[in-house]
Amino acid sequence: MVETASLVLVFVAGLLTALATGLGAIPFFFVEEFSDRWNVGLWGIASGIMVSASMFGLLNEGLAYTSDLPLMLVVGVFAGVVLVEVSDRVLDGVELGDDDDEHDEHGPNHDSHDGHDEHRMEAEAFAEGDPKKLLLILGILTVHSFPEGVAVGVSFAELGLEGGIPVLGIAVPVLAVFMTVAISIHNVPEGTAIAIPMRAMGLSNWRMVGAAVFSSLPQPIGAVIAFAFVRWARAFLPFGYGFAAGAMIYLVVTEFIPEALDTGAGLDGHGRRELVGGFLAGVLAMVPLLSV
């Protein structure tokens, strides 16, 4: 059985990543617009941390639990990629009303990338207060956020074992700390992307914060489910680590980097300098993980 205290700790970690999304709307309390340069840098930092954590943390842990050919690890990586790709296709097929007519109203730097569709739909659902639309949005967000929650949950697989960081009397794996931080950093510009169309609709600042946090609520649920699974079926740990690593790397390549470049389209060099700088900073932040 999985200890209740461990489940609560993993849920709290996932909840922190969700609350971090609300931070993306906080700048709108003080300024009319939020710097695209800062947003691109945050996308880069999150990408660097997540790629490093996946390559040197999740995949290394998976290999440590593999005695022969890492077949289960490879299958896990492939399954993570497939989940993200299928999720994207599901999201592409969802429509909430006549979005196209309003597409150009939400800012010059956020009107051409498909990754913003769910942000716009969520903003419209909150503006209208339609419970049916909000329920549908929650389902969409569950599909979108689940891989990130899984990565957090799997990174806690070694919770309570020696060598971790003491938190409330429980040894928390270093990998879990870095993964929680990485997802949280990623969620800040995600929250800003959600707040931008809501700002254009004239919604209040606190409703923007609430909508941003709402968008990541599935993450703590996914974290708890993934953690409970890998603790219950430890034979599948290589699959779990591979799944989380595959999903994270594929998300970085297909969503984080394109979103960052789209956000930085108006900057010199289309934001590539800020993205690369942030990415390198994220990789350097993961150096402590290489020494444990």
Beta bridge partners of 165: 172
Residue with tokens 């697989």: 157
d(CA 226, CA 6): 13
pLDDT tier, 30 (very low <50, low <70, confident <90, very high otherwise): confident
Interval 179-207: pLDDT, tens: 888 888 878 878 887 787 777 777 788 88
pLDDT tier, 12 (very low <50, low <70, confident <90, very high otherwise): very high
The whole-number pLDDT of residue 183 equals 86
Residue with tokens 């299958």: 75
> Where in the sequence is the domain holding 252, given as residue range(s)?
4-290
d(CA 129, CA 137): 12
Interval 86-104: pLDDT, tens: 877 776 666 555 444 444 4
Across the range 168-183, mean pLDDT stands at 84
Among residues 152, 264, 216, which one has the least CA distance to residue 24? 216
Across the range 102-118, mean pLDDT stands at 44
Residue 251 carries which side chain, given as an amino acid letter? L
Interval 230-256: pLDDT, tens: 888 877 889 999 999 999 899 899 888
pLDDT of 227 > 60? The answer is: yes
User: How many distinct structural domains can be found in the chain?
Assistant: 1
220 close to 53: Cβ distance less than 8 angstroms: no
| HSE, side-chain direction, 13 A CA sphere, residue 202 | 1
d(CA 165, CA 203): 41
Torsion sign, CA atoms 85, 89, 92, 96:
negative
Beta bridge partners of 171: 166
